[in-house]
Structure 1
């Protein structure tokens, strides 16, 4: 009996099942083919302007570059696949075998903008990387997510839809959720053509996350942005993205100087089959979400933040004890949590942390922790973390005096909710009067 791959998420053990080659999306499988036509610092760290709760942050691609000095030791960035239970679904119930899906990857190599030269040449660079990379990428067609004066990136996808990383985790379920306000990235495109995580293991060498830059010349709607004079100039700037990030502005999160090399984001265009959405967490499964209604004008202290997390978790139907993922004076954010209880699931169904023990050691989530509220509403904002990294103890200076001061002259260490790079999960210095959200997690 033919079987296909179905995904659901379990709060407990990892269950693995063997599948037919089509379920694994091998190139040999048949499927529905799409018609195809054919150093500066991260701008997110530049000139922070706190957004209104739930509002879109200022992510201008032309933001000026600034140096970022961070404290905290380098962390081991071992990437672990999400804990997934694989449900066998009888093919007779849905009419056939699961077709293969397109792959997404960033190039292991970084290129000067003048080497990119044009969108067409960028495509050639992507296809060369695929040919030399993981064998599963071979025999397929890829475009670089790059725009120039003659073509917009979105128009070069043809009818392609549904993209997954080499580890099988979904990047975007369908083209309908790829761009603009509808963009929904489940996992950031952190893997290169060999399946290597480009978030460096030695973060002391990459304190500004430049290793995650990919050049796009493309705005959030998929149309042309800044592109170093059609990829011919070593001056000015280019619009780009960050391989460690999700969020609706994934294509245009940064403005890089044209002297800075960057990776390319490569998208397969052979298949038009959307990927099924994972199941959101329920009940006792450990959830992670962004809190709403946070401020320091009423009850204060970390106990008040924990109580807010507990209340919003209970309202959403989650059981167990919930706390705010924040450092306190003398203790790190992750020291307040335990590995027992299974993975942490984001409320859209993404497994944000597949291996709790490793996460509590290296501080690297599998995907962004706080891009959804407890009720599943998407949100892109800043969150308080209270220290330079999730493993760094807080101080009065980084925690609004233990979350008791709302003075504009005091600051807290925070992060953009869509980042996963451990050196940037506490890089923002934000006035305490602007604290609007924290990450809530089951203890």
Structure 2
């Protein structure tokens, strides 16, 4: 066991409603871009808006033929959520400059990529086929396409990674759970490098109908879709479903140092808890979220990171969930010494919608990029904060460096899910104890 080992992030890959690839997505996010659209496929539903991944052959669009981990014909045999994971994993590996070449390296590199739902469209299609044409006409690819662990499985197979293979499924906290699971595997000595993330592709009429019955999705902005996802705003009325994937390359500091890797940030803490309250709603005071953030910060403090400057909030744009989380963040701010600057808070689901099982990974990636580049992504559509006037919080509504000029030392990324699951990841700006691990500016 080696639980004193530091864990660093050396690569990031993104497939999102804002585009494909960090070089496309990050500037659009900082500029206040939005990937939410009104979709013809959802006409007649109470909610007709969603945030799809842009598909096509142009730069920044998703094209399976441009993913080096995919082969011709894969688009027919691999479900979209797993395709997104393959593209994000390929970019993450390239960005980390990690291409295990020996059996030993491949056996020490693992994958933890989860999904909240998997391929619901394949379940719907197979059910229709069986009812209309009989069981003999169900595709042989049905089961391999719809299973939630197939994103992780395909990445492992195509990249030749033989280390630990894991697929958490913790609803909307899945992507963050994958990161914490990967960190534990690295800390335990089971691997030297882990690809960690989440993927989802569930913009499907049945899914929208199901969440609609829960009154969880936005219905008031069908005519103005870019305004529909509005975290923390008084006019919010539900989340907007998005799709995509994000993958982080995590590795031990020792491994990164030995190969001279460039470090983007350090994963210095994580917290996990259960609300034990309700299957779909948090307690109004956000008690579970607060416990989770405090746990992550205690671990970070033990690693020498006593300060947190920024929270990338889960904030899906639901009335109850956003309010509970904001109360929890305000209570966390009250833990800090008197005279501390306010906690900077933003929620990026206004731009991307809610990626369900991919959300935690995407927002972890955004948090890493914020620390690395020392700039913050904004909360778009935030016109009138609610709850208002909570102490210790400053909303970020314009992307860029902090307005008060502070350095960004450490940040939390929150993810919560149905069933009462809470995960909070704490990342810190990389400050190596010595060379040759490097940090690009």
**Higher relative contact order at CA 8 Å, sep ≥6: structure 1 or structure 2?**
2
Pair in the same fold by TM > 0.5: no
Q: TM-score, normalised by structure 1?
A: 0.29
